[in-house]
Every structure is written in C-alpha cells, then in structure tokens.
C-alpha cells in the first residue's frame, strides 16, 4: 500500500494508471456485449456515432464500440500472456548466466545476443506466413513470448552480477547454501521488481507487433483485436468513404494504451531505480 501511494504521487503513474483502468473497464464490458464479436450484419451499416451506436457502425454491419471492447480485451490478453512467457525465459537466462559465469554465461549470452541482433519483425512476418492458419490468440502469445525476452535477460543478468558481489552471497557460499536455493530464494527477490517493470515495456512491444501483423493480414483477423480492427478499416477504405469513426476507434485506443503503458513503465522504472530512491529521500 505504501508503494502504491508513493507511485500515485507521480503524475505520470496517476495518468497512465487511470487510462489503463478505463480501458480495463471497457474490456470487461465485452462480457456483456449484446453481439457476437464475429457476427456481421448485426446492425445497420455505416451509421455515424449516436446515442444508439456510441462509436457508430462499420461496413460489415458491426457495432464499433462493442467490437472495440473485445479488441481491447484480446490485445491486452495476448500482451499479458506473451510478456509473462518472456519474463520466465528472461529471468531464467539472466539468473543462470549472471550467477554461473564462465562458459555457461558466454554460451547463454551468445544465444541472447543472437536474438537481440535478429530482425525480429521480419522473422515474425515469416513465421506468421508459415503458421498463419494456426495463429490464434494463444499461438500469437507464445510466438511473441519466445521472441521478446533477450533485451530484458541482459538487464537481469547485470543485476545478478551486482548481487553476486554482495556480502550475503559470500556468507551463503561459506554456509554451503545450495546454488538453486541462493539464486531462486535470495536473488529472485531483487530480480522480480525489475522483471515487473520490464514486463510493461514488453507489453508495449507485443501490442505493436500484433497490430503490425494484423495490418498485413497475417493473423486471424476474424478475431477482434486492435490490429484486426485497423486492418478492416483500412481495407474497406474507411477514410475515403467518410467513415472516420471506424478508423479513429482503433487508432485512438491504441495510442491511449501505448501512452498509458509508457507512462506507467517510466514511473515504475524510476521508482525502482536506487539512485532515484536516494534523491526522493534527500528531498523529504
């Protein structure tokens, strides 16, 4: 509670968290939708925003508002699952490489650096082409999770390298503490906050990748996501037809989501920075 109160004093966190809360409410509304998210011709086509259709309807005969609630839920769900998978991989690689050192560290960092220098967007496009028919929400999350851990693994490894030189590590070694117990019981407490902070940044990357792949039609666009909404709006030439609300909805929500996650990421990252903590104590 004390941590949360301190974070809320940061205007960036307060704004970002408030926007995320609103988006979370919209995502929950999808469970009360009067329409099937994949149903077409459910409402009159190309209707502008009104009291009946809050964000208008599209050329497929779908209510844009209710479809957007499903899109927010699905996009955030993919991002959360993918970021969680990548956190597990990043923490495992970072902990083992940082503590073990030597040949194990060099091998793991060689693999890690290989993922960093790879053109991930190009590889994701190629993989999406190969497994496009199986690319549902769950497989997308696995794909993004397996590809998006490398940079954060280096951060975690750096943290472990620092922890390895502290007194409690030498004490544990002298007491013949098993390596697994030391790494996963002691180091994990220091690594988890960093992993949670980088999780938010990874979610931004995952949502951006999902939108990019869906824009090119490389995912199952019948599943409502922010990317698939944008895909249909552009393919059906919403701007040329004057259906600005159809395009504005996914773009506006995507921008709000990106900005909110970025503000929270910056605020949490600064809060966890030891130097920033010292400055906060010094100003009190």
Domain locations along the chain: 16-27+54-283
Please write the tens of the pLDDT for every residue from 137-155.
899 999 999 998 888 888 8
Q: What is the pLDDT averaged over residues 100-106?
A: 85
Confidence of residue 97 (pLDDT cuts 50, 70, 90): confident
CA distance 277 to 279: 5
Lowest mean per-residue pLDDT among 73-82, 121-130, 171-180, 272-281: 272-281
- Indicate whether 73 pLDDT > 80: yes
Residue 200: predicted pLDDT: 87
Partners of 57 in the β-ladder = 63
Confidence of residue 55 (pLDDT cuts 50, 70, 90): very high
**Residue 171: C-alpha distances to residues 174, 177, 249 (Å):** 5, 9, 57
Confidence of residue 181 (pLDDT cuts 50, 70, 90): confident
| CATH 1.10.3720.10 is held by the domain 16-27+54-283 | yes
Most confident of 91-95, 267-271, 276-280: 91-95
Most confident of 38-42, 57-61, 127-131: 57-61
Average pLDDT, the chain: 86
Most confident of 113-122, 197-206, 268-277: 197-206
Q: Is 91 in contact with 154 (CB distance < 8 Å)?
A: no
Specify the pTM: 0.86
Confidence of residue 248 (pLDDT cuts 50, 70, 90): very high
- Indicate whether 278 pLDDT > 50: no
What whole-number percentage of the chain has pLDDT above 70? Answer: 94
Sequence-distant (6+) residues with CB within 8 A of 37 are 30, 66, 67, 70, 223, 224
Most confident of 43-47, 198-202, 213-217: 43-47
């Amino acid at each position: 509670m004390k941590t949360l109160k301190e974070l809320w004093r940061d205007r960036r966190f307060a704004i970002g968290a408030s926007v995320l809360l609103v988006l979370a409410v919209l995502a929950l509304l999808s469970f009360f939708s009067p329409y099937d998210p994949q149903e077409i011709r459910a409402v009159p086509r190309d209707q502008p925003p009104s009291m009946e259709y809050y964000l208008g309807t599209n050329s497929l005969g779908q209510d844009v508002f209710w479809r957007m609630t499903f899109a927010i839920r699905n996009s955030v769900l993919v991002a959360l699952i993918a970021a969680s998978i990548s956190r597990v991989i990043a923490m495992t690689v970072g902990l083992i490489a940082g503590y073990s050192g030597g040949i194990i560290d060099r091998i793991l960092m060689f693999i890690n650096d290989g993922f960093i220098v790879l053109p991930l967007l190009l590889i994701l496009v190629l993989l999406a082409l190969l497994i496009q028919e199986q690319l549902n929400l769950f497989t997308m999350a696995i794909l993004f999770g397996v590809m998006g851990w490398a940079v954060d693994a280096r951060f975690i490894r750096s943290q472990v390298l620092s922890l390895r030189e502290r007194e409690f590590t030498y004490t544990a070694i002298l007491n013949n503490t098993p390596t697994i117990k030391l790494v996963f019981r002691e180091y994990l407490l220091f690594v988890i906050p960093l992993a949670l902070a980088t999780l938010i940044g990874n979610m931004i990357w995952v949502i951006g990748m999902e939108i990019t792949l869906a824009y090119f039609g490389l995912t199952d666009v019948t599943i409502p996501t922010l990317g698939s909404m944008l895909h249909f709006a552009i393919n059906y030439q919403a701007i040329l037809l004057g259906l600005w609300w159809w395009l504005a909805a996914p773009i506006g929500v995507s921008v709000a989501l990106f900005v909110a996650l970025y503000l929270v990421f910056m605020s949490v990252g600064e809060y966890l920075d030891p130097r920033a903590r010292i400055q906060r104590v010094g100003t009190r």
